[in-house]
Structure 1
Amino acid sequence: MQHRAQAVPAPAALPPIATAADARQLAEGLMDVMSRLLGVIEQETELVRAGNVREAIQLEPNKTELSRRYVSTILRLKASQQYFSLTTPDLLAALHRHHEVFRAMLQVNLTVLATAHAVSEGIVRGVNAQMQRRNIPNTYTANGQRAVPGPRNMTPIAVSRSM
């Protein structure tokens, strides 16, 4: 069963910045949203590491909203890149450094989530293999070799993805 990703509405296009006050406000807004998003992601990572997946799932609405704000702010920053480069290069460099830390922390989160997914998949496959062994009759051919069970001897396993 495939899950479809929920479509996030496209952020409203904001005009590029034109003043130093707008530049500072945009930079502060970006740093704020990245910090808040990192806080949620770190919390999610710790919950998943501890095996509290249900609690981690409850963070999803907040994470989605912060991600939407992050994308919107980044798009406005890209539209304003020339202004930042010409008038506030130090602020732009600080934003780049902050963004690199942000990306590194996201990579840690993605690694933890991928590991949790692989482990849970391995557990389900192991349980399925054990169940199949129990359901397969031990029979032998005329030559005394173990008979290979047919598809009708296999019992499917059902897994509920809802928690």
Structure 2
Amino acid sequence: MTAQGQVQAKKILYPAATTPEEARALADQLLKVMSELLTVIEQETELVRAGKLREAMQLGPTKTELSGHYVTAVGRLKASQKFMQATLPELLATLHRHHDVFRAMLKVNLTVLATAHSVSEKIVRGVNAEMQRRSMPNTYTAAGRRATPGPRHTTPLAVSRSL
């Protein structure tokens, strides 16, 4: 079995809520985590839109920590779903509505991040193309066509990924 197969085979079992009080506490915990995570995501979205990538990157550890809490809360909710459906269906419906709003906000954030990534990639590719164009000799074949330079004429582009 490969390492990836071992990771996939290992499932985390979350404790299910067994009383209405535990279910309400779980719902409160999930709503709190989603709210905190949305606050961080909205900050990140605004910073990326404003081009303040360094500041947006500083939110990464907080976002990672809250994401871990979110995954744990959702795992517990899934384990408790049958109990909650039987005893507190209105609470479960409320959680679903809040989660739909949460997903919509995540979609906006992911769109902004994808746009920023695309723009930065285009800039780097444009700079690289210009560097290659300037470093290649302009020669022509006997037929008067521009000769394609070999790989020895290409100059590698080094990019520092740290801001």
| TM-score, normalised by the number of residues in structure 2 | 0.90
Partner of 1:3: none
In the TM superposition, residue 143 of structure 1 has moved relative to its aligned partner by 2.4
After the TM superposition, which parts of structure 1 deviate over 4 Å for at least 4 consecutive aligned residues? 10-14
Count of residues in correspondence between the two structures: 155
CA distance in 1, matches of 2:66, 2:11: 12
Is 1:47 aligned with 2:43? no
- Give the superposition deviation at 1:146: 1.6
TM-score of the superposed pair, with normalisation by structure 1: 0.90
Q: RMSD of the alignment, in Å?
A: 1.7
Q: Secondary structure at the match of 1:161?
A: coil
Alpha-carbon distance in structure 2 between the residues aligned to 1:85 and 1:98: 16
Partner of 1:29 in structure 2?
29
Residue type of the partner of 1:98?
A: H
Q: Which residue of 1 aligns with 2:6?
A: none
Matched residues in 2 for 1:77 and 1:14: separation?
9
Which has the higher mean CA deviation after the structures are superposed, 65-74 or 18-27? 18-27
Partner Cα separation in structure 1 for residue 12 and residue 56 of structure 2: 29
**Corresponding residue SS for 1:142:** coil
Aligned to 1:4: none
- Percent identity, aligned pairs only? 67
Distance in 2 of aligned mates of 1:100 and 1:11? 26
Higher helix share: 2
> Is the partner of 2:64 in helix, strand or coil?
helix
Name 1:107's counterpart in structure 2.
Answer: 107
Partner of 2:157: helix, strand, or coil? coil
